[in-house]
Amino acid sequence: MTSGRKKMNIEEIVSKMTLEEKASLLSGKDFWQTENIDRLGVPSIFLSDGPSGLRKQAAAADRLGLNKSIPATCFPSSSTLANSWNESVTYEVGKALGEEASYEKVSVLLGPGANMKRNPRCGRNFEYYTEDPYLAGKMASGFVRGIQDENNGVSACVKHFAANNQEERRMVIDTILDERTLREIYLTAFEIVVREGKTKTIMSSYNKINGDFTNENQPLMDILRKEWGYEGVVVTDWGGSNDRVDGLRAGNELEMPTTAGETNEEVIQAVKDGRIEEKYLDDAVKRLLKLIDETTKAREDKENFSVEAHHKVAERAAEESVVLLKNDGVLPLDVKKKIAVIGNYAKNPRYQGAGSSIVNPTRIDSAFDLFPDAVEGYIGYEQGFDRYGKKSKKLASSAIKLASSADVIIMYIGLDEVSEAEGVDRPEIKLPQNQIDLIDELSKLSKPIVGVLSCGSVIEMPWVDKLSALVHSSLGGQAGAGATISVLTGKVNPSGKLSETYLYNYEDTPSFKHFPGKMKSVEYREGLFIGYRYFDTTGIAVRFPFGYGLSYTSFEYSDLEVTETGVSFNIKNTGKLDGKEIAQLYIGLKYSNVFRPKKELKGFTKVFVKAGETVKAEIPFDDKSFRYFDISTNKWEIETGDYDIYIGASVKDIRLEGKIHKDGVKNTPYDKKQLISYFTGRVDDVDDAEFTALIGRPIPSPEFDFYKKNRMKLGYNDTVGEIRYARGAFTRFLFHVLNGVYKLMKKTGKRSTANLIEMSVYNQPFRGLSRLTGGAINMPMLDGILVIVNGNFFKGLGIFLKENGKKNKANKLKQKAEKEKQSASAN
Ligand code: BGC
């Protein structure tokens, strides 16, 4: 990569490393950096969050987005970018983001997230692309290629590998699912981003899959390394390391953040005991050194990037991602008409999600600032409603007053930043009632209302009929406001389409009965049928289907040709404006021995067509087009059959149909009689017997291991929230105090503090007290805490204090030895 640079001699370095050095390299030096070994010329590297911008913390470090980071461009969230259906857009964003990382000497950018949106309530959906693995894989690949552009010298880090689809109890939850669902739905996006995006780093997730933590999960790591040929580094999610030695053995090179040497000792001991061969360490060290070497350019001094140019990249990306959901003709706006802007989000845009992805933007555009210049007939702004849902007659009546004198009302609505946050799932998917009430009131004026919606995940929209138009700007990043205004005024013809299904009611979700997992596990009883795969197969009506989005022009599809290598067809722009159309290729097989969704996305293209002109669109088939994962042969197969080819403007709006025959196998891996729900797609209420048949083994008990009613012995991987069931009365009392605070916070509107308690206390496993405190609490001290929790207060306290003393003494000795070493080398 870097021209003229001397490459590291990795073999030589490893041969000179001591066991201690090897162990130390594989665990963080601090919260964000790896160890350096100066005598061998091994520098430490910096890892920082993304994915919607760089979050490099110069001062106090945390993984929750609490402390500020250095200013960086805030790009649209992944959920927004996915609506562009344009890999070159994610590439451009990734490239600019990588440039910022490189300027800040960040070697690994922690993103993008390639997890599936299994359920609309997952608190982190805004950070993920879509409910479809193919689209997610493609979007993520563009993003990764951009970050890893050779001028940047930065590595992306695709996360969270894998099947990490709820925030509740995220660090301990066991995801129970069948092999085929794992492969086809939850791993395919990762597979694409490994093979096509060529990511150099992957972050394992916090959860377990079928009983094992992902970073210790040998079958999962074997898929990654042996099947997909991945040669990069796997890093734990922060604090996600459980048994360090098992993780290392499974192939997880880097543990983050630091445990102040505690796990290094475990690794060294394990080598000495023969529990792990030193060769494992050598291989892991080599892969890490390769990453360090390949990111050398990221650590060189560089000219500053152009803040203005990156703002423009963010704006262009947002423009491509805006989805026009409804339009009775009021849009594009007649700018000469009297236009009132209403809604808190016009002035304080909601442009990003909360948690580790939070960016400190270089600047923020708002509709309030941009409207007066962009729209001639602008007559003013009113806040209209309280952002956090409090009812206010005063705010509403001022808005109604302003709206009364307008010809068109533009209403900025959405979800506040506390509603969509890492670490907490959403309790519901509704727009706050005060906003719905205002829509009601305004609609009584019988004037056109144009909604502009800001949120990063699906919401119910029973109020949409009251609007004349609805523009979904999602979470558009720092330049999103300008992009939306360009769409409103027609400067930009909208070309985004939904990357997830907008359902009528949350209860329609196929995983409704199994989300989130509340105790030990979460069962993916809906199997393959997430998102449109379920709605399309069962015919259950939705508000806006997957792949849907309007334009100010219209397109006609014709002349489908299906060949062995792919499909081609014509798209004619039949309107008066130039525009872009996203055409989607879905494939299905009606007469199949294996159950399948009616159709699945297997390709797409976004084409620009001038008004009145026709463009020939082509979508090639690839290795994913016809494959399914066969559990009887344990590999990908193509089933013999006549496949249906659908070309759609959305999953529901199929414009062209064709057929192609494929020869392959005709296996019968399933007993149809046992799996009726899966063969019909009605998977919303799968019973125990059927799920047992699907996973091919008894369903592990999801219940806590109570030794008597509501009492359990707590261990490393029980969460702090479970102290409500602790044996020790004092501990249970503590829980009630904490819960009192939590409830009070919720009641008094301090939702972000309540969220914090939920994420970092309730959902924190005890293990995290040691894995995340950088050595302040070590495992023997944690043992003392657990003795307290489990009912022996004084004994536990004694252990805790004794171990704390031992730790402090050892630290002092270490510091002394280091000082002596330093002064010896200075002399
Ligand atoms: C998140 C990761 C993030 C890491 C570092 C974790 O809590 O799950 O996505 O990259 O923290 O901030």
Q: How far apart are CA 770 and CA 774, in angstroms?
A: 7
Contact assessment for residue 561 and residue 665, using Cβ atoms and an 8 Å cutoff? no
Q: What are the structure tokens assigned to 368, written together?
A: 């309030």
pLDDT at 23 over 70: yes
Q: How far apart are CA 18 and CA 481, in angstroms?
A: 55
Q: Given this model, what pLDDT does residue 805 score?
A: 96
The full DSSP string for 749-771 is: T-HHHHHHHIIIIIT-BHHHHHH
Instruction: Cite the beta strand spans of 295-396 per DSSP E.
Output: 323-327, 339-342, 378-382
Contact assessment for residue 671 and residue 679, using Cβ atoms and an 8 Å cutoff? no
Which residue's C-alpha comes closest to atom 5 of ligand 1?
63
776: which residues sit within 8 A by CB, 6+ positions away?
A: none
774-777: long-range contacts at Cβ-Cβ below 8 A with a sequence spacing of 24 or more?
774/30, 774/31, 774/257, 774/258, 774/259, 774/260, 775/258, 775/259, 775/260, 775/261, 775/262, 775/807
Instruction: Measure 596 CA to ligand 1 centroid, in angstroms.
Output: 34
Which residue's C-alpha comes closest to atom 6 of ligand 1?
238
824 or 168, which is more confident: 168
CB of 350 within 6 A of ligand 1: the answer is: no
pLDDT at 160 over 90: yes
CB of 356 within 6 A of ligand 1: the answer is: yes
pLDDT digits (tens, 9 = 90+) for 170-193: 999 999 999 999 999 999 999 999
Closest ligand 1 atom, CA of 111?
A: 10
Instruction: Measure 240 CA to ligand 1 centroid, in angstroms.
Output: 10
CB of 237 within 6 A of ligand 1: the answer is: yes
Which residue's C-alpha comes closest to atom 9 of ligand 1?
356
| pLDDT band of 61, cuts 50, 70, 90 | confident
Instruction: Measure 360 CA to ligand 1 centroid, in angstroms.
Output: 17
Q: How far apart are CA 577 and CA 201, in angstroms?
A: 43
CB of 49 within 6 A of ligand 1: the answer is: yes
Looking at every residue in the chain, the average pLDDT score rounds to: 96
Q: Given this model, what pLDDT does residue 320 score?
A: 98
Instruction: Measure 48 CA to ligand 1 centroid, in angstroms.
Output: 9
pLDDT (average), residues 85-90: 98
Q: Given this model, what pLDDT does residue 1 score?
A: 44
pLDDT at 63 over 90: no
pLDDT (average), residues 716-722: 95
Q: What are the structure tokens assigned to 510, written together?
A: 């196929």
CB of 771 within 6 A of ligand 1: the answer is: no
Would you give the DSSP letter of residue 224? I
Q: How far apart are CA 541 and CA 196, in angstroms?
A: 35
Instruction: Measure 627 CA to ligand 1 centroid, in angstroms.
Output: 33
DSSP count for the chain of H helices, then E strands: 25, 26
Residue 324: phi and psi, rounded to 5, are -90, 115
394: which residues sit within 8 A by CB, 6+ positions away?
A: none
CB of 208 within 6 A of ligand 1: the answer is: no
Contact assessment for residue 236 and residue 255, using Cβ atoms and an 8 Å cutoff? yes
Instruction: Measure 330 CA to ligand 1 centroid, in angstroms.
Output: 43
Enzyme catalytic residues: 237
Q: How far apart are CA 717 and CA 516, in angstroms?
A: 18
Instruction: Measure 682 CA to ligand 1 centroid, in angstroms.
Output: 35
| pLDDT band of 4, cuts 50, 70, 90 | low
Closest ligand 1 atom, CA of 65?
A: 12
Minimum mean pLDDT among 435-444, 738-747, 795-804, 818-827: which range? 818-827
pLDDT at 776 over 60: yes
Q: Which of 153, 43, 167, 69 is nearest to 109 (CA)?
A: 153
What residue type is assigned to position 563 of the chain?
Answer: T
CB of 238 within 6 A of ligand 1: the answer is: yes
| pLDDT band of 60, cuts 50, 70, 90 | confident
Q: Given this model, what pLDDT does residue 2 score?
A: 44
824 or 66, which is more confident: 824
Contact assessment for residue 323 and residue 342, using Cβ atoms and an 8 Å cutoff? no
Which residue's C-alpha comes closest to atom 3 of ligand 1?
356
pLDDT at 587 over 80: yes
pLDDT digits (tens, 9 = 90+) for 222-261: 999 999 999 999 999 999 999 999 999 999 999 999 999 9
pLDDT digits (tens, 9 = 90+) for 304-348: 999 999 999 999 999 999 999 999 999 999 999 999 999 999 999
Instruction: Measure 296 CA to ligand 1 centroid, in angstroms.
Output: 24
Q: Given this model, what pLDDT does residue 82 score?
A: 98
Closest ligand 1 atom, CA of 205?
A: 8
CB of 259 within 6 A of ligand 1: the answer is: no
pLDDT at 59 over 80: no
* Substitution site in 30, 32, 62, 63 for ligand 1 pocket (most atoms within 8 Å of beta carbon): 63
Strand order in the sheet with 233-235: 47-49, 108-110, 155-161, 201-204, 233-235
pLDDT (average), residues 624-650: 98
* Substitution site in 49, 169, 236 for ligand 1 pocket (most atoms within 8 Å of beta carbon): 49
Residue 92's alpha-carbon distances to 97, 142, 146, 312, 355, in angstroms, are 9, 8, 6, 11, 24
* Substitution site in 356, 755, 771 for ligand 1 pocket (most atoms within 8 Å of beta carbon): 356
pLDDT digits (tens, 9 = 90+) for 414-427: 999 999 999 999 99
